[in-house]
């Protein structure tokens, strides 16, 4: 992605950091009006938007959790409910490892 030259140093650094973390799952951008956006690479969900990078960061994390739930819908837990089960799935090139523990 072409670097933005109209962003502050702090915003450019945060955009780079978020792109580095989420490059395989989200397309991140800041438009000319300063609105931050993140779109799932699958395009399946509405874009996430916020006024700042610090506001969009937890929204992406929350959406990623929801995305994981969608990916793992219908999976089963460990037969022994006293032991946590670890499930792995490939999503957008990243290995997601989830540990679940029954209460």
Q: What is the pLDDT of residues 21-68, one digit of tens each?
A: 999 999 999 999 999 999 999 877 899 999 999 999 999 999 999 988
| This prediction's pTM | 0.65
Write out pLDDT tens, residues 74-83.
665 544 444 4
Helix 9-22, helix 53-71: angle, nearest 10: 10
d(CA 9, CA 15): 10
Residue 35 — φ and ψ, nearest 5°? Answer: -85, 125
- When computed from its CA atoms, the radius of gyration of the chain, rounded to whole angstroms, is 17
Domain ranges of the chain: 9-75
| pLDDT above 90: residue 98 | no
Collapsed DSSP state (helix, strand, coil) of residue 82: coil
């Amino acid at each position: 992605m072409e670097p933005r030259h109209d962003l502050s140093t702090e915003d450019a650094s945060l955009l780079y950091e978020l792109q580095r973390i989420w490059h395989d799952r989200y397309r991140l951008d800041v438009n000319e009006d300063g609105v931050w956006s993140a779109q799932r690479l699958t395009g399946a969900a509405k874009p996430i938007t916020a006024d700042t990078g610090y506001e969009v960061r937890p929204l992406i994390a929350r959406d990623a959790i929801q995305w994981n739930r969608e990916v793992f819908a219908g999976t089963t837990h460990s037969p022994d409910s006293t032991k946590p089960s670890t499930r792995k799935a490939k999503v957008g090139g990243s290995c997601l490892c989830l540990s679940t523990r029954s209460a």
